[in-house]
Chains A and B, each alone.
Chain A
Amino acid sequence: MDLSLLDHAFMRHALAAGALAGVACSVAGVFAVLMRLTFIGVCLAHAAFAGGLAALAFGLPSLPAALAASMVSALVIGPLADKGEISPDTAVGVVFSAMIGVAVLCMGLMPGPKTEALNLFWGSILTVRMADVWLLAGVAGTAVLGVALFFKEIQAVACHRAVAAAVGIPATAVFYAILVQTGMTVTACLPSVGGLLVYSLLVSPAAAAYQLTYSLWRMFVLAGLFGAASGVGGVLLAWYLDVPAGAAVVLLSCALFLLAAWFSPKRRRTGSRP
């Protein structure tokens, strides 16, 4: 195998970013899939994207603004979804359209070329800096450490949130910690994967793992592996086939999901083939 691609610093950064983004997104995705909160992932991703663009429009650094926007969205959407005040579909519709509106407005306000703004939209994994890789490493490490330290609480809340609350687990605190972690993950992935594509990386690896196991810790491990494989594999496809890296990452994660769904023992057990 030709490993000359590793001679290039940008490829080493891209591969590391792909693997770390895959792991970080997959861990957050497990919560989203299990708790049926994928709509919150959509909202947080678009909020981070709009926040980043708003900062660029005013000449400010994009990532802190993206993080702030995703945190504010989490703190607004979380209670709404939590208390059943508004349906998930409605929340997605309102926040998604509002954030797209903010993004388009900010892009319109930006003078000159909009390369940096478009990078937040599509991501540019082949141009990530070492600082972005360290940020992703920090987020992925936090996610893995959090799962290791609070596995029993996470399992209880992710599988039976109402029961977890009833037995005296601080379920609401765990829920919001999950939202915050998801917001941090989405923000850290903006430079590499982009605000539009990160949602797929958030959901597909975790959804693929969900098809294959009845054990939560195995689901975390499989999701992390699928996420890392999608990130690294997408970058390699981009190198060898000369295709856009972000799209390759996302399509690979979707292909992994389709394969997992097809070979899922859960599907065979219920006998419901599509």
Chain B
Amino acid sequence: MAAGIISGGAAPSGPDSACPASSRAAVTLRDVVVAPRGRTILEVPALAVAAGEFLAVVGPNGAGKSTLLGLVNGLVRPASGTAMVLGRDMRAPGAWRVRRRVGLVAQMADVDPRLPISVLETVMTGGYGRLGLLRGPGAALRALALANMERTGIAHLARRPFGQCSGGERQRAAIARALTQQPDILLLDEPTSALDWHAQRDIMALVSAIHRERGADGGPPLTTILVTHDLNALAPPPREGRVPVPPSPVDRVACMAGGRIAWAGPLDQALDAGRLTQLYGTPISVIDHHGRPVVLF
């Protein structure tokens, strides 16, 4: 991680706490400005995301959350500043190759139901970048894709046309595809939007488990950046009977507004009524429900 931009990550703070304490950063942004057609839509003086960290990004529409993900994925080019992702300068030639190590789960609402591609083929797409040109997807990639479909609960959909899947199934397929990339960074852009409550909870539990497992299996840790409007999805799920629930995987929350990171800090401080009211510009309450914070608006 670049020295000098790191401050105490767990401490309650303003924009400066966009930099956690960590020995190694997966993402480092310094004085980054994104300004398509001359209009600044993202301005980040300093942000570092540690390897293995789970960062949630919240904020109103137009806050710059998706642009931030695009920056990390290399789909958005900074106009100025320094953006380092997995050690690669994102303004340097060939920076797009970093995408092979960054899985992106975006919303796929507008999909033609007649599209000639199966769910398995969609998931296998995740491995094509690493595979390179002129190399056919072999049995190993197919097995990896099927294993990730099994992991995300959609193995039975392998041969179904992708366009004929429900919203929840598409999101699971998108997650399986991102996992097939074998990413070092996982980006999730509102993965639970347009899903019913059950599917939302399932998807978030899946994301949490994937992040936790990668950290626990001794391999390189998975850095996860989640953009969401659903603030309640960040808290641990409610307990069902006596079954213990795992804690929230979220290490840090970044609140964005107007293309800037307005605040960053731990989850328990992020879910603060005053902070959220100011962030969204509308009255928001946070109540305690059996020890679990619930955001109401």
Judging by beta carbons under 8 Å apart, are B136 and A169 in contact?
no
Within 8 A of A (CB), among B113-168: 113-118, 121-122, 125-131, 133-134, 136-137, 161-162, 164
Are A165 and B134 in contact, with the CB atoms below 8 A? no
Contact of A168 with B125 in the complex, beta carbons under 8 Å: no
In the complex, what residues of A have CB within 8 A of residue B98's CB?
168
Query: How many angstroms from the CA of A102 to the CA of B128 in the assembled complex?
Result: 43
* B100 close to A167 (CB less than 8 A): yes
Query: Separation in Å of the A202 CB from the closest CB of chain B?
Result: 18
Contact of A159 among B73, B103, B115, B127 (CB under 8 A): B115
Q: A167-B99, A216-B116 are in contact. Are A160 and B130 (CB under 8 A)?
A: no
Instruction: Give chain A's interface secondary structure class.
Output: helix
Q: Which among A149, A152, A165, A210 is the interface contact of B114 at CB below 8 angstroms? A: A210
Tally of A interface residues using CB under 8 Å: 29
**Cα of A85 to Cα of B129 in the assembled complex, Å:** 28
Max chain A CB contacts within 10 Å: which of B126, B129, B137?
A: B129
User: Which A residues are in CB contact (< 8 Å) with B130?
Assistant: 168
Contacting A210 at CB < 8 Å: which of B103, B116, B131, B133? B116
CB atoms of A167 and B134 under 8 A apart: no
Contact in complex: B177, A163 (CB < 8 Å):
yes
Q: CA separation between A266 and B114, bound complex, in Å?
A: 7
Q: Which of A210-248 contact B (CB under 8 A)?
A: 210-211, 213-216, 218-219
A34, A153, A167, A214 pick with most chain B CB within 10 angstroms: A167
Q: What separation, in Å, do the CA atoms of A83 and B102 have in the docked complex?
A: 23
Contact A167 B136 (CB under 8 A): no
A169's partner among B104, B129, B137 (CB-CB below 8 A) is B129
Which residues of the partner chain A approach B103 to less than 8 Å between Cβ atoms?
A: 167
Give the nearest-CB partner of A166 in chain B.
B104
Please tell me if the beta carbons of B113 and A168 are within 8 angstroms of each other in the complex: no
A160 to B110, CA, bound (A): 11
* Interchain CB contact under 8 A, B96 and A168: yes
Report which of A156, A215, A266, A270 forms a contact with B128, defined as CB distance below 8 A. Answer: A156
- A168: chain B residues at CB < 8 Å are 96-100, 128-130, 181
**Interface status of A155 (Cβ within 8 A of chain B):** yes
B116 touches A215 (CB 8 A): yes
The 4 tightest CB contacts between A and B, nearest first, are A168-B129, A168-B100, A168-B99, A166-B104
A-B contacts besides A159-B115, A160-B108, A218-B116, 20 pairs, CB < 8 Å: A152-B131, A153-B133, A155-B117, A155-B125, A159-B116, A163-B122, A165-B75, A167-B129, A167-B177, A167-B181, A168-B97, A168-B98, A168-B130, A168-B181, A169-B128, A170-B96, A211-B114, A213-B116, A216-B116, A219-B116
